[in-house]
């Protein structure tokens, strides 16, 4: 299995990191993003791509015509839509690597669309935040071509592992983990902000340290607040897919839905400008104070 040209669908945080890390591994690399079609949003990502030697495409069709490895890195809610858009234009024998955080059922639907064209679908479960790992972020691959693709990607310096030739396994692992990790984020934000509102955070956090001494709760809290403020919308969409995963297993997704709601609420606050001017390395108390201030009656 050899690749000459990579096509990246989605030029957000992950797309930028992956194209930068992989462009030296192949003869060419292209990108397409829905923002490229927006008069108000396209200038910044197009400039970034040009400055970093990434060829930009005007459509998914153009990208697929160039690429023998297509990587989809979009928001969870667009996982299936991207597969639908790309499928008619994929080259026979091309590999479609789906990085998106979607349920096993969604990935299986996407695979049916891709495989029907003569291309080959591989699912990926990205097991932690891409920064600061870059292309070395641990990924689990699934599907009939997972082992072959993992061998190539690992030669490129990536950290991938084929976990099953059956689609859905890698995504199930990712989604079950997401319930826990995104759930911790939501719990920390709710607990810390409430403790701050009551003025009892200096009593609450030491008890967490006593119970879980291996975790720096001050530092972890700041990281959780920062990541959710920055990526809450994406996380909320991922948790809706996690809820689908739970439902597909036959359970009612009480917790996954609640986590999605909390992530969405924080994302909405960020969109409303509640956290404007706050840097990513800011102490968690500053984020919490902004949330508390936002609840006060406007005078």
**127-176 tens-digit pLDDT:** 998 988 999 999 999 999 999 999 999 999 999 999 999 999 999 999 99
Name residues whose C-beta falls within 8 Å of residue 249's C-beta, 6 or more positions apart in sequence.
none
**98-131 tens-digit pLDDT:** 999 999 999 999 999 999 999 999 999 999 989 8
Counting every residue written for the chain, the total comes to: 299
Residue of 206, 241, 225 whose CA lies nearest to 289: 225
Which pLDDT does position 280 carry in this prediction?
81
End-to-end CA distance of the chain: 65
**CATH code for residues 5-167:** 3.40.50.720
29/9 Cα distance (integer angstroms) = 11
Mean pLDDT across the stretch 66-76?
96
pTM over 0.75: yes
- Asked if the peptide bond before residue 21 counts as cis, ω within 30 degrees of 0, the response is no
Q: Provide the 3-class DSSP secondary structure of residue 30.
A: strand
What is the residue-averaged pLDDT of the chain? Answer: 96
Cα-based distances in Å from 170 to 65, 74, 103, 160: 28, 18, 10, 11
Domain ranges of the chain: 5-167, 171-295
Q: Hey, which CATH number is domain 171-295, 1.10.3720.10, 3.30.1370.160, 3.30.70.1560, 1.10.1040.10?
A: 1.10.1040.10
3-state helix, strand, coil in the chain (%, to 5): 60, 15, 25
Residue of 95, 104, 74, 81 whose CA lies nearest to 10: 74
Which pLDDT does position 299 carry in this prediction?
58
Which pLDDT does position 204 carry in this prediction?
98
Which pLDDT does position 252 carry in this prediction?
98
The answer to whether 62 and 44 are in contact (CB under 8 A) is no
DSSP code of residue 143: S
Which pLDDT does position 194 carry in this prediction?
98
Name the percent of the chain lying above pLDDT 70.
99
């Amino acid at each position: 299995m050899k690749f000459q040209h990579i096509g990246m669908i989605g030029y957000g945080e992950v797309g930028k990191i992956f194209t930068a890390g992989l462009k030296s591994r192949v003869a060419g690399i292209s990108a397409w993003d829905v923002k490229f079609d927006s008069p108000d949003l396209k200038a910044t990502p197009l400039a970034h791509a040009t400055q970093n030697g990434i060829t930009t495409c005007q459509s998914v069709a153009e990208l697929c015509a160039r690429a023998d490895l297509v990587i989809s890195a979009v928001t969870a809610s667009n996982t299936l839509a991207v597969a639908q858009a790309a499928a008619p234009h994929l080259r026979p024998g091309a590999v479609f690597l789906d990085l998106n955080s979607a349920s096993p059922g969604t990935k299986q639907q996407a695979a049916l669309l891709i495989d029907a064209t003569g291309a080959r679908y591989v699912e990926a479960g990205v097991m932690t935040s891409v920064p600061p790992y870059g292309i070395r972020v641990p990924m689990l691959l699934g599907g009939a071509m997972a082992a072959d693709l993992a061998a190539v990607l690992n030669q490129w310096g990536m950290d991938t592992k084929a976990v099953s030739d059956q689609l859905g396994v890698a995504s199930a692992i990712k989604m079950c983990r997401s319930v826990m990790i995104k759930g911790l984020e939501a719990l920390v934000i709710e607990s810390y902000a409430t403790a701050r509102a009551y003025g009892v955070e200096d009593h609450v956090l030491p008890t967490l340290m006593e119970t879980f001494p291996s975790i720096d709760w001050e530092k972890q809290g700041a990281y959780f607040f920062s990541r959710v403020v920055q990526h809450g919308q994406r996380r909320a969409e991922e948790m809706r897919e996690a809820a689908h995963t739970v439902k597909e297993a036959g359970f009612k997704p009480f917790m996954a839905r609640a986590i999605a709601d909390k992530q969405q609420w924080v994302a909405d606050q960020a969109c409303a400008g509640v956290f404007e001017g706050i840097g990513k390395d800011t102490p968690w108390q500053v984020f919490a104070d902004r949330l508390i201030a936002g609840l006060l009656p406007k005078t």
